Amino acid sequence: MNELLLETRALRKRFGGLVATDSVSLAVRRGECHALIGPNGAGKTTLIAQLAGSLAPDAGSIIFAGEDVTALPAHRRAALGLARSFQITSILPSFSVLENLALAVQAVSGSSFRFWQAVKDETALFDRAREILHSVGLAEIAERQAGSLAHGEHRQLELALALATRPQLMLLDEPMAGMGPEESEQMVALIAGLKGRYTLLLVEHDMDAVFRLADRVSVLVDGRVIATGTAREIRANAEVRIAYLGAEEVA
């Protein structure tokens, strides 16, 4: 797990007098779950937007799978295997869960539905869609209308849509946001099941989830990465405890 899949080099973004990303250098190894944490206003959203391609940096570079993608738009990065989950807005509420995912699989495969036959006759697309739904725990509600899903189920479908792109790396943007304890526990289990199969960059406020899931953690404060290490190392880091976790946090 030493090969770098994603790397930022002195990434910088300014909004007027505010430096939102202050020369951030971050390295995500292939196959790891790497968490990015920090207080509100630390610059996490700005950094993720730059990685995904929806926001251009003012300086620095982004290297993904050995290629400089700094100037590439979001759809080009997605084609290379960089998927951002939990910010997907393309769910069609009047379509079933299965139909939503089949459309995503179709878009990636480059095939097209035939207008003279039923969509459900596209066997290969729907077999792949069902396989993904099973992996995220939605197989039993495949025929349910997507607009009727509970919040946690909606997040699971967003995760399934990201998986449909066959990503090399998944940017998981606050997957537990708005969830209750039971839903959060289910999402932790799902993400744990993805570890090792995909490279994950996890942005999350739930510290219990972070420390259970992450192989390494980077801490962002005032637009700067102040520490990177294992969960144990981050818990024991005095600067991190003062700046973010709270002085009472213990290793």
Residues 160-219 pLDDT 10s: 999 998 999 999 988 988 888 999 999 999 999 999 899 999 999 889 999 999 999 999
Report whether pLDDT(245) > 70: no
Distance CA 9, CA 246 (A): 29
- Helices 151-164 and 97-109 sit at what angle, rounded to 10 degrees? 20
Model pLDDT for residues 123-157, shown as the tens digit of each residue: 888 999 999 999 999 999 999 999 999 989 998 99
Report whether pLDDT(113) > 90: no
Domain 1-81+168-251 belongs in CATH node 2.60.40.1120 = no
Confidence (pTM): 0.88
Report whether pLDDT(2) > 80: no
Look at 174 and 109; give whichever has higher pLDDT.
Answer: 174
Report the relative pairing of strands 18-29 and 4-15 from DSSP bridges.
antiparallel
What is the separation of C-alpha 219 from the centre of its chain, rounded to a whole number of angstroms? Answer: 17
Report whether pLDDT(248) > 90: no
Report the relative pairing of strands 199-203 and 33-37 from DSSP bridges.
parallel
What is the separation of C-alpha 58 from the centre of its chain, rounded to a whole number of angstroms? Answer: 23
Cβ proximity of 169 and 64 under 8 Å: yes
CATH 3.40.50.300 domain span(s) along the chain: 1-81+168-251
Q: Which of 184, 244, 198, 248 is nearest to 220 (CA)?
A: 244
